[in-house]
Structure 1
Amino acid sequence: MSLEVIVVGQEAAAEVLAVVRAAFAARPVLDPPADALSETEASIAALLAPGGGLLARLDGRTVGAVVLDPDGDALYLRRFGVDPSAQGRGIARALVRAALAEAGRRDGLKRLVILAREELPLTVQFWRDMGFAETARQPPYVEMARPVPRTVEIPTADAMRSLGEHLASVLQAGDVLVLSGELGAGKTTFTQGLGAGLDVRGSITSPTFVIARVHPSLSGGPSLVHVDAYRLGGTAELDDLDLDTDLDQAVTVVEWGSGLAEGLADGWLEVRIGRATGDAGATGIDPEADPRIVELDPVGVRWLGVELPASSTL
């Protein structure tokens, strides 16, 4: 199975319309009816004019579409749909991920917004599963939004520490950070910067052998809880850690925590660290000098409006 998602403009109005008609016609009858059912090729072209859209193609066949509608610092997802014949193959998730990536490439966009029908609870749950949170409700619509990820290029270990230190300035008690990246990617170096920015006590090293360490604040701010989830068997074991601190009063950083630590809070910040070369075993590359690409992916209402660090600030 070959799946690709491409950015399109008004020239793709007919393809977008075909997906919209197929997707919305298969949904339950709503009152009032969905506006999408009255779209024409001309009206779709007009919707595509400001910000374009995305098409998903499965083995060369167009099976998914969404219109991207920029409005201030928000990118609205309009006429989001997947052809019923292709449902269950990850098309909708691929479209959302592509929309997030596209928003990250456009200047000034900070959030993705979707208007879901409250009569369709499974649809609303899908958006929650994709990291969207309810921000407003005007029946029959539920407005849901999620922040746009930010990608930062980190050329040196000092810059990685600086990223952590800058990020610390926007953190508050109760925040959860989930770190991922191969061994040696820079997760602990990043956390050392966080510790410096939060002004906590103690040397921050990899917590592998003790699973978790608590670093109290030296200045009345939140403590830093540094957890290595690599050897934990599940969320229950994470909850059972005897940390001698209230996580609501601390900033919690969980290495190797993807899919595990998110239950600690309603919102969290994914910090994904990768090598710029894409090949940790490449010959002739100094692993200490190999630049890193860090993706800061915030999830939840807590992060809407939070200014995350950019490469230019480091």
Structure 2
Amino acid sequence: MSLETRRVGPEAAADVLAVVKAAFADRPPLDPPADALAETEQSVAALLAPGGGLLVVDDGRPVGAVILDPAGDRHDTVYLRRFGIDPAARGRGLARDLVRSGLGEAARRGARRVVILAREELPRTARFWRDMGFTETDRRAPYVEMARPVPVRLDVASADEMRDLGRRVARRLRRGDVLVLSGELGAGKTTFTQGLGEGLGVRGGVTSPTFVIARVHPSLGDGPALVHVDAYRLGGRAELDDLDLDTDLDEAVTVVEWGTGLAEGLADARLEVRITRATGQAGPATDRGADREADPEADPRVVEIDAVGARWLDADLAL
């Protein structure tokens, strides 16, 4: 299997149309019918002309497509239109991968927000977009408009830069915010949180909370406390509440390491911070609990900050 996602323009209208027709014809009948079913090669070419699109090809056969349509009145917004996966290629995660590729392409073009239109009669479709971080912003029958910010992707060359990134992110936070950190051992999650604590102005040095599960760092001023959690052994928000942290999580900023998979239970709105080594090389094998920092000078990091939920729709995440 040779799977490839290509940037395309009007020259690929026939291939994009083939995917759109196959995908939308497989959906339940709608009244009024989906506009996509009336598309022609010429109309698809016209849609592709302003901003192009993405085409997923499997061994030379088009199996997925989306058109990226810049909003005429908002230069920071891109619409994802005619999104579809050929029914014969479903069940392989291609839809989620194509959404992520679309978000990345929108970010590459300088957009800050991505918008989709879903039909009210297709709740499963709306659920899929919610799972991908989209939030309802408008409802005009028969459409539901949903939007989300594009992820911010940053190259971080050193531990000092990682701490500085944490300090800059802290300036965007307020009481009740949740951050979910992921990355392999030594990726820099605790270093990032140290900078976050400095930016928030909290008491105490931030270290890995592994052996105590959670630590509370009270504010040295009138700002929010920092709750630093290791979620490796937690099963969800209920267990977090059971920790008796002597602080109201709605009044604090909560940072959860190893929180992937628990995020939905922790908060509807959150910042997902994913840290990877730029070279893709794993660090030295260690016990999971140690999470010691490898040398970022020898192995720089890539940090992706992915904002989920209505809280972040209009927030400025330019860092």
Fold similarity call, TM over 0.5: yes
1:138-157 to 2 correspondences below 5 Å:
138-157=140-159
Match of 1:101 in 2: 104
List alignment gaps of at least 5 residues for structure 2. Answer: 285-293
2:157/2:296 contact within 8 Å kept: no
1:133·1:145 contact (CA, 8 Å) conserved in 2?
yes
> Could you tell me which residue of structure 1 aligns to residue 310 of structure 2?
301
Q: Which residue of 1 aligns with 2:287?
A: none
Q: Is the 1:69–1:75 contact (alpha carbons within 8 Å) kept by the matching residues of 2? A: yes
Trace 1:18-167 onto structure 2 (pairs within 5 A): 18-71=18-71, 72-107=75-110, 109-167=111-169
Residues 269 and 310 of structure 2 are in contact (CA less than 8 Å); yes or no, is this contact kept in structure 1? yes
Q: Which residue of 1 aligns with 2:252?
A: 250
SS, match of residue 124 in structure 1: helix
Report the number of matched residues.
307
Note the C-alpha offset of 1:73.
0.9
Residue 282 of structure 2, aligned match among 280, 283, 301: 280
State yes or no: 1:240 paired with 2:242: yes
Residue deviations 1:61-80 (CA, integer Å, cap 9, x gap): 21111111011211101111
CA distance in 2, matches of 1:309, 1:79: 29
Per the alignment, residue 267 of structure 2 pairs with 265
Residues 165-210 of structure 1 deviation map (CA, whole Å, 9 limit, x = unaligned): 1111110111110111112211111111111111111111111111
| Cα distance change, pair 213–281 in 1 and its aligned pair in 2 (3 A) | closer
Scaled by the length of structure 2, the TM-score of the pair is 0.92
TM-score (norm 1): 0.93
What is the CA–CA distance in structure 2 between the aligned matches of 1:163 and 1:60, rounded to whole Å? 42
Once the two structures are superposed, residues 45-69 of structure 1 have per-residue CA deviations (whole angstroms, 9 ceiling, x without a partner) of 0000011011112333211111110
Q: Partners of 2:318 and 2:194 in 1: how far apart?
A: 16
Amino acid at match of 1:197: G
Letter in 2 for 1:19: V
* Residue from 161, 168, 171 that aligns with 1:169: 171
Which amino acid counterpart does residue 76 of structure 1 have in structure 2?
Y
Unpaired stretches in structure 1, ≥5 consecutive residues: none
Offset, 1:164: 0.6
| RMSD, aligned CA | 1.7
